[in-house]
């Protein structure tokens, strides 16, 4: 151990320091939380490797080559630099993962970092890839990627530390298959959408006008997509007659597209949406009985500024533009977008960082706000609402990333305890308590920014939700043998069905892939198709789900697909012996205080994955966990004498090789 490791060794103990040094860590995301996380991991020596001098025994050998792998799809933007401290101005537009590695390496020259500029959805990131790590840290900014990584970690049975921040708020939690709830055990809020009539006919707030400009007017003029935008939906409350008329209105607008590039274009668009359509709405008296009637405006009656003035105004994003100014920016942005469309851009969609589209959306939404008597806003403000920008600061990211790595230490402490009930280090016998708390005493931790009483709030990790479609299935591997040089030995769906019936005792069942059902009793058309033709082949990151259709169905079996080892045939590798799949959890079971209904619980207990029983928690409240944490701590510190006078010999904890 080096002198630079002294602080970590003193704080968490030598065995745990060695364990994290010899770990393989996957960090997904090198943004706000990711930069902080990488710094913490590097400074604590995660993945820096440790070979004991003189081959001291008792130290677990690394699972694979120690190191930190960091994956990020993004490139660096100016607005990242206030918090993503591994990046500088000269790095703008470069890949985050690569620059993060370059900046963080000198923090600890011993560390091994593998940086990958890629999407975590890419097919090379298979279940086997995930399984090659001891732990995965999420530092993501979107729901889809979080859910994907959650599922991959469940399938690979690798602990996941999940985290997120918004403004001053932040949270971190540890997730492990069969031990804790997963990211998808509770439904997540969906993106807010508005009824179509509110957006198209009766806006009453600035956001309604912004959605109209961004998801209706811009696509109608410059888009190609036939799909409805997802922030604007038809709801039961919407008047069907009115919806029909709105369709006709949109058709009329499409015709105006034909004028694009002519001198009448701006006037035609303007008068269509701010005069004709508004006049039609005004004529519907019943609509305005409880609402303020809009006031239509006409192109020719508003003063015009020069094109240069319009362009100049567009750069002043802090001030609220007047009606005349909004018209000038509207004409300016319409001309710019027209230029782009005519230069060959077939579809121009809204992007908050595409200034032309932002100018258009800001001015058009403000003009509409004027018509409906809604407050006008500056471009800077509109950008936030239109682009769903979440405020972000350096400190929340730092706090949350710190908590993630704290949880990481606890998870490794739990692993150490599980890996060796007794181990010898430096002559001391470490006696671990048999019933270690799950994940080393990890919690669900929240920042508590406005409290006068506490900085963080913690909750015990909840048990898995037995009805969760993501973590209740049994995950296993489908090994597919290679095809020989003559093209023989190609596995077919029939082969897979044979295995399921023959070895796994299935009778009535359905097989589906991400693309849909490929087999059930009434659907045997694919029977002789090679699995590869059905999208089931090694290297694909998709899953194959086997659903039991028996009266007392067993849990879903979800297969990830890998290449069979040399000479191996088509087979299913599972932690659970064939025929012993647990019964399917009763979906009706509501999350009770224990989180499980009794019969379901016994079924879940049947999942004898690895040494999971040992880690299962009891009723456990805060008090119990504190005792456990203290016990782990005690076991870590060198065992010492009496209560009256405490002696702490540090030879068990401080190892320095000079």
462 part of the interface to another protein, by CB under 8 A: no
Q: Per-residue x/- marks for another protein, 157-196, CB under 8 A?
A: ----------xx----------------------------
Q: Given the structure tokens 């918090």, which residue do they identify?
A: 83
Q: Given the structure tokens 């009637």, which residue do they identify?
A: 293
Active-site residue, selected from the candidate residues 35, 153, 182, 197 = 197
Q: How far is the CB of 11 from another protein (least distance, A)?
A: 3
One DSSP character per residue, 506-561 reads --SEEEEETTEEEEBTTB-TTTTSBGGGGT--TT---EEEEEE-SSSPBPPEEEEE
624 exposed, middle or buried (CB, 10 Å; 0-12, 13-18, 19+)? middle
Q: From Zn ion, another protein, none, which one binds at residue 322 (CB under 5 to 8 Å depending on kind)?
A: none
Both tokens assigned to 508: 């009535």
175 part of the interface to Zn ion, by CB under 5 A: no
Instruction: Count Cβ atoms below 10 Å from residue 568 Cβ, excluding itself.
Output: 13
Q: From Zn ion, another protein, none, which one binds at residue 255 (CB under 5 to 8 Å depending on kind)?
A: none
600 part of the interface to Zn ion, by CB under 5 A: no
Q: How far is the CB of 405 from another protein (least distance, A)?
A: 5
C-alpha to C-alpha distance for 517 and 510, rounded to whole angstroms: 7
Q: How many residues bind another protein (CB under 8 A)?
A: 86
450 part of the interface to another protein, by CB under 8 A: yes
Q: How far is the CB of 169 from another protein (least distance, A)?
A: 11
377 part of the interface to another protein, by CB under 8 A: yes
633 part of the interface to another protein, by CB under 8 A: yes
Q: Which of 319, 388, 451, 594 binds another protein (CB under 8 A)?
A: 451
Q: Which of residues 325-354 bind Zn ion (CB under 5 A)?
A: none
Q: From another protein, Zn ion, none, which one binds at residue 78 (CB under 5 to 8 Å depending on kind)?
A: another protein
Q: How far is the CB of 379 from another protein (least distance, A)?
A: 11
368 part of the interface to another protein, by CB under 8 A: no
468 part of the interface to Zn ion, by CB under 5 A: yes
Q: Which of residues 112-131 bind Zn ion (CB under 5 A)?
A: none
Q: From another protein, Zn ion, none, which one binds at residue 185 (CB under 5 to 8 Å depending on kind)?
A: Zn ion
C-alpha to C-alpha distance for 216 and 201, rounded to whole angstroms: 12
182 part of the interface to Zn ion, by CB under 5 A: yes
Alpha helices in 44-158 (DSSP H): 96-104, 127-131, 143-156
Q: What Cα–Cα distance (Å) separates residue 418 from each residue in 56, 154, 618?
A: 20, 19, 17
388 part of the interface to another protein, by CB under 8 A: no
Spatial CA neighbour of 219 closest among 250, 182, 252, 180: 250
Instruction: Count Cβ atoms below 10 Å from residue 289 Cβ, excluding itself.
Output: 7
81 part of the interface to another protein, by CB under 8 A: yes
- Tell me if 481 sits within 8 A of 555, measured CB to CB: no
402 part of the interface to another protein, by CB under 8 A: yes
197 is catalytic: yes
Q: Taking contact as CB under 8 A, which single stretch among the options 119-127, 153-161, 386-394, 608-616 is the one that binds another protein?
A: 386-394
Q: From Zn ion, another protein, none, which one binds at residue 474 (CB under 5 to 8 Å depending on kind)?
A: none
Cβ contacts of residue 256 below 8 Å, gap of 6+?
221, 265, 268, 269, 272
Cβ contacts of residue 155 below 8 Å, gap of 6+?
127, 130, 475, 543, 558, 560
Site residues (vs Zn ion, CB under 5 A): 182, 184-185, 468, 470-471
Residues serving a catalytic function are 197
């Amino acid at each position: 151990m080096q002198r630079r490791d002294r602080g970590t060794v003193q704080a968490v103990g030598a065995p745990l320091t060695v364990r994290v040094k010899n770990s393989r860590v996957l960090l997904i995301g090198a943004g706000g939380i990711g930069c902080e996380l990488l710094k913490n991991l590097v400074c604590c020596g995660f993945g820096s490797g440790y070979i004991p001098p003189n081959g001291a025994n008792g130290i677990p050998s690394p699972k694979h080559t120690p190191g930190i792998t960091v994956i990020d799809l993004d490139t660096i933007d100016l607005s990242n630099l206030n918090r993503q401290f591994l990046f500088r101005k000269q790095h703008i537009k470069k890949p985050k993962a690569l620059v993060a590695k370059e900046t963080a390496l000198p923090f600890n020259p011993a560390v091994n970092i593998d940086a990958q500029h890629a999407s975590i959805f890419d097919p090379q990131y298979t279940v086997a890839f995930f399984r090659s790590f001891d732990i995965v840290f999420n530092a993501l900014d979107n729901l889809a990627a979080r859910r994907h990584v959650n599922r991959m970690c469940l399938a690979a049975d690798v602990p996941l530390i999940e985290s997120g921040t918004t403004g001053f708020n932040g949270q971190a939690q540890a997730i492990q298959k069969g031990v804790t709830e997963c990211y998808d055990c509770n439904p997540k809020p969906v993106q807010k959408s508005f009824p179509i009539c509110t957006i198209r006919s009766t806006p009453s707030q600035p956001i309604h006008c912004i959605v109209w400009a961004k998801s209706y007017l811009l696509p109608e003029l410059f888009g190609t997509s036939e799909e409805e935008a997802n922030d604007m939906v038809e709801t039961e409350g919407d008047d069907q007659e009115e919806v029909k008329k709105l369709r006709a209105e949109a058709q009329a607008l499409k015709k105006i597209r034909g004028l694009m590039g002519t001198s009448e274009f701006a006037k035609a668009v303007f008068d269509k949406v701010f005069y004709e359509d508004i006049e039609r709405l005004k004529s519907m008296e019943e609509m305005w009985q409880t609402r303020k009637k809009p006031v239509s405006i006409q192109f020719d009656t508003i003063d015009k500024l020069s094109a240069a003035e319009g362009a100049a105004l567009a750069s002043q994003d802090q001030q609220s533009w007047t009606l005349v100014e909004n018209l000038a920016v509207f004409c300016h942005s319409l001309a710019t977008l027209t230029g782009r469309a005519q230069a060959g851009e077939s579809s121009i969609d809204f992007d908050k960082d595409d200034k032309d589209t932002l100018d258009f959306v800001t001015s058009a939404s403000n003009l509409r706000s004027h018509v409906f008597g809604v407050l006008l806003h500056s471009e800077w403000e509109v950008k936030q609402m239109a682009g769903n920008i979440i405020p972000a600061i350096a400190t929340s990211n730092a706090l949350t990333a710190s908590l993630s790595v704290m949880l990481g230490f606890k998870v490794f402490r739990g692993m150490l305890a599980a890996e060796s009930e007794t181990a010898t280090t430096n002559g001391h016998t470490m006696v671990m308590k048999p019933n270690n708390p799950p994940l080393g005493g990890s919690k669900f931790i929240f920042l508590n920014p406005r409290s006068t009483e506490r900085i963080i709030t913690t909750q015990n990790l909840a048990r898995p939700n037995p009805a969760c479609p993501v973590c209740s299935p049994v995950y296993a591997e489908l090994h597919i043998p290679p095809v020989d040089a003559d093209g023989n030995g190609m596995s077919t769906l029939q082969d897979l069905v044979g295995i399921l019936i023959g070895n796994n005792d299935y009778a009535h069942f359905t097989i589906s892939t991400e693309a849909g059902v490929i087999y059930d009793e009434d659907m045997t058309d694919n029977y002789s198709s090679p699995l590869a033709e059905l999208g089931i082949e090694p290297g694909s990151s998709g899953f194959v789900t086997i659903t039991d259709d028996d009266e007392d169905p067993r849990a879903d079996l979800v297969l990830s697909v890998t290449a069979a080892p040399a000479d191996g045939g088509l087979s299913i590798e599972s932690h659970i012996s064939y025929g012993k799949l647990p019964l399917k959890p009763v979906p009706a079971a509501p999350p009770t205080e224990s989180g499980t209904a009794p019969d379901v619980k016994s079924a879940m207990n049947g999942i004898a994955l690895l040494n999971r029983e040992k880690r299962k928690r009891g009723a456990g409240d805060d008090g119990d966990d504190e005792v456990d944490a203290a016990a782990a701590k005690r076991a870590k510190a060198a065992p010492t004498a009496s209560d009256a006078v405490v002696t702490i010999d540090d030879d068990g904890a401080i190892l320095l090789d000079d």
